[in-house]
Amino acid sequence: MGISIITLIVSVLLFSLLARILSYQRTLHLFSWNPTYRRGFFILGLLSLSIPLTIILERSNSGWDSSPPIITSVLLLLVLIPAAVLYYHFRPIQRRIALKPLLVLTERRGAFGISDHAILWRSLQKEKTSVRLTEKIDGNEMLIKEDTPSRSHVIILKDLIPGTQYSYSIDSLDGISGSFSTCGESLRLAIVSDAHIGSSKRSLNTTKRIIQTIIGREDSFDLLLNLGDIVQMGNLKGNYEAASNVLLPLSKHLPSIMVPGNHDAWVGGLNSWKDAYYPKRLNSELRTHQLFHHYRPLEGVHIITLDLEWGTENFSKAQRHWLTEQLSTIAKDDMLIVASHAFFFGSGRVVDSRAWFDPMKMIDTFHPLFRDNHVNLVLSGHNHQFEHMKEDGIDYVIVGTFGGRLEKRITHRSSASIFLDHTHHGFAELSIDRSQYSLIFRNLKDEEIYRFSSRPR
């Protein structure tokens, strides 16, 4: 009887895990793009329901006190293995984690026209701390204190001065300090995507080398634009903790704009992404959306980030209304950049019977909107390659080369493709002033692979 009861309990555990996973909206997005996952979950669901019924019928006929047949032990193993795997990957109860400081750009502009910055980090215990911000040239110092103890720390750096160097130190974190410079008349961004930290199929050393290359530049960058899939399994908080450690040399010095990817947010991972990169305290302070933003880092330059993790699945009515409203406020002569994780045009191949190239829903939904609203440049990740495309005067760029496994085989070339490289890891360098922008694909050694320049349409 004991082994039968154990098998029933494990079956109930497996079913409850499946139900928990299916309760997340993004699980359905995962299933729509990955039939292998969908079929696997369907089979596990049948197992979790059929095995208890089989045991109950067998025990009812032979009696609960009789010795269980060997088949019961086989059924226990059959349900125990997937239950253990699922619990490891999608465990509902996870330990608290500590996240290292991350410097982010906010949408709010200060008194001198520069966007306010914020320093984010998480601690294991609730504590109240403060940040000392120092202007390097004049040595003016400001002490910014938190009002209440918290595990999620948010310090807003307000009314920063253009073209100025700052340093900061966090009182509760001995040995961790940072420095940064605010942009002046021009803007230089480092663009990365698809690190997939936590995956056995990616190269952590590659990501670290790219970070060191960006840090080591003599002509330093003003911003980091991270287009998602920072981690492999967003549902595992440990992946975010590992990513925080890897990104620290970069994230404490270079203000970041963070965009969620499908791996970051799937199966309950979205809450961990928000905790790490746009916590509730920051959201309540700024009163903006947590997943899509309108940044104005330089006068006449707009960067709009969208929550498009797989494709159009996340393009809700709320996001559509917000995007239309934002586009209507931008002057036609201004420079307009749109960024998301999922790509709009792109070369690729068929994956699980799905076309992983030139996604027609994305093109039909967004390209006319971008064309009619004078979008200049569209930046994406998702595909692990460098690619530059052009359609109706709009430059489309894919830069999914931050360490994830590169695309080995591309069978379909995008109709809009001008340049394609899927043999190098690296990052993109985007330089902007009020009259033009130029973008360079760079490899691990900071060597130029390809460049193009353009003027606002």
Residues 411, 299 share a domain: yes
Cβ–Cβ < 8 Å for 368, 393: no
Do the beta carbons of residue 261 and residue 230 sit within 8 Å?
yes
Give, in degrees to the nearest 5, the angle at Cα 88 between 86 and 89. Answer: 65
235/231 Cα distance (integer angstroms): 10
Query: Same domain, yes or no, for 148 and 12?
Result: no
Give the pLDDT confidence score for residue 160 in this predicted structure.
93
Residues in Cβ contact with 59 at an 8 Å cutoff, skipping those fewer than 6 apart: 1, 4, 68
- Do 145 and 21 lie in one domain? The reply is no
Q: Can you tell me the distance from the alpha carbon of 343 to that of 339, in angstroms, rounded to the nearest whole number? A: 9
Q: Among 228, 222, 225, 227, which Cα is nearest to 180's?
A: 222
The residue from 51, 71, 90 where one domain ends is 90
Alpha carbons 196 and 231: distance in angstroms, whole number: 4
pLDDT at 34: 81
pLDDT score for 412: 94
Q: Which of 28, 55, 90 is a domain's end point?
A: 90
Q: Half-sphere exposure of residue 136, counting CA atoms within 13 Å on the CB side?
A: 12
> Are 224 and 290 part of one and the same domain?
yes
Distance CA 422, CA 374 (A): 29
Residue 296 main-chain phi, psi, to 5 deg? -130, 75
Q: Tell whether 82 and 219 lie within a shared domain.
A: no
Phi, psi torsion values for 448, nearest 5 degrees: -75, 130
Q: What confidence score (pLDDT) does residue 426 get? A: 97
What range does the domain containing 222 cover?
Answer: 99-454
User: Do residues 36 and 144 both lie within one domain?
Assistant: no
Whether residues 228 and 120 fall in one domain: yes
Q: Same domain, yes or no, for 127 and 153?
A: yes
Residues 227 and 292 in one domain: yes
Give the pLDDT score at 455.
83
pLDDT along the chain (457 residues), means of 10: 68 78 84 83 78 68 63 68 73 79 94 92 92 86 90 93 93 86 91 94 90 87 96 90 94 95 90 92 85 92 96 93 94 94 95 85 96 96 97 97 92 95 97 90 96 85
My answer on whether 84 and 226 are in the same domain is no
Predicted pLDDT of residue 229: 97
- Overall number of domains in the chain: 2
Per-residue confidence (pLDDT) for residue 427, from 0 to 100:
98
Do 10 and 117 fall into the same domain? no
Q: Judge if 408 and 292 occupy the same domain.
A: yes
CATH of the domain at 171: 3.60.21.10
427 with 192: CB under 8 angstroms? yes
How much is the pTM?
A: 0.90
